[in-house]
């Protein structure tokens, strides 16, 4: 079955997520992927991302970054962001997710995972029972071709969109659809 790859919600990007709404629903913590979710692969954080984290923290959320990338990469990324992180997370293996929950001090039911890859981010979150939001992966304008893995992701996403049971399981969490 494909359901192990299905996110709980789909958003065009991290800015389209209604974080206030999530908080009102009782969620207390957010786990973010970094590369192609918040910025392009390997890039520094931006003013927009820094501001987003400030806003999210002001709402009351705890945050943690869960990345398969190195400690050095993450340390540079969070220069202006006050957040926890787990490096070399080895997603979709569950250990990194469980460590993130432990560091946050929250339960899986009160935490939401946000990431761009079905076969790592979302699969791992589902294995742990953490609700997830898939965001459209960021890419440069000059990148016209997409890889095989992304093409398979598109197929899974198309099936997800046909599934009323699995779509929109977090309610009105998306503010806008591009
Ligand atoms: Mg990613």
Q: Give the Å distance between the CA of 115 and the centre of ligand 1.
A: 6
Question: Is 168 within the bounds of a domain?
Answer: no
**Residue 1 pLDDT grade (very low, low, confident, very high; cuts 50, 70, 90):** confident
CATH code, domain carrying 10: 3.40.50.1000
Q: Give me ligand 1 centre to Cα 92, in Å.
A: 12
Residue 12 has pLDDT above 80, yes or no: yes
- Give 135-166 pLDDT, tens digit per residue: 999 988 787 777 899 999 999 999 999 998 99
Task: Judge whether 167 lies within some domain.
Answer: no
Q: Report yes or no: 63 and 55 within 8 Å, Cβ to Cβ.
A: no
In a domain, 52, yes or no: yes
Q: Among residues 12, 30, 15, 28, which one has the least CA distance to residue 132? A: 30
Specify if 169 maps to a domain. no
Q: Is 96 a member of any domain?
A: yes
**Would 172 be classed as within a structural domain?**
no
Q: What pLDDT does 141 receive? A: 79
pTM here is 0.95
Q: What percent of the chain has pLDDT over 90?
A: 90
Distance 23 CA to ligand 1 centre (A): 24
pLDDT of residue 140: 81
Give domain status of residue 21, yes or no: yes
Q: Which domain holds residue 125?
A: 3-162
Averaged pLDDT score across all residues of the chain: 95
- Tell me whether residue 99 is in a domain: yes
Tens of pLDDT, residues 34-65:
999 999 998 999 999 999 999 999 999 999 99
Q: How many domains does the chain have?
A: 1
Least confident of 26-35, 61-70, 119-128, 158-167: 158-167
How many angstroms separate the CA atoms of 93 and 50, rounded? 28
Q: How far is the CA of 63 from the centre of ligand 1 (A)?
A: 16
């Amino acid at each position: 079955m494909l359901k192990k790859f299905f996110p709980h919600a789909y958003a065009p990007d991290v800015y389209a997520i209604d974080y206030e709404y999530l908080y009102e629903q009782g969620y207390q913590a957010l786990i973010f992927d970094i590369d192609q979710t918040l910025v392009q692969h390997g890039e520094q954080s931006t003013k927009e991302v820094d501001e987003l984290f400030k806003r999210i923290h002001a709402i009351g959320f705890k945050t943690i970054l869960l990345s398969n990338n190195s400690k050095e990469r993450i340390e540079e990324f969070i220069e202006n962001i006050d957040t926890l992180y787990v490096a070399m997370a080895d997603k979709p293996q569950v250990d990194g997710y469980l460590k993130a929950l432990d560091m946050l001090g929250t339960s899986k039911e009160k935490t939401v995972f946000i990431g761009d890859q079905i076969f790592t981010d979302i699969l791992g979150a589902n294995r742990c029972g953490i609700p997830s939001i898939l965001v459209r992966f960021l890419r440069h304008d000059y990148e016209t071709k997409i890889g095989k893995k992304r093409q398979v992701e598109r197929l899974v996403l198309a099936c997800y969109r046909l599934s009323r049971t699995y779509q929109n399981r977090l309610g009105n969490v998306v503010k806008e659809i591009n």
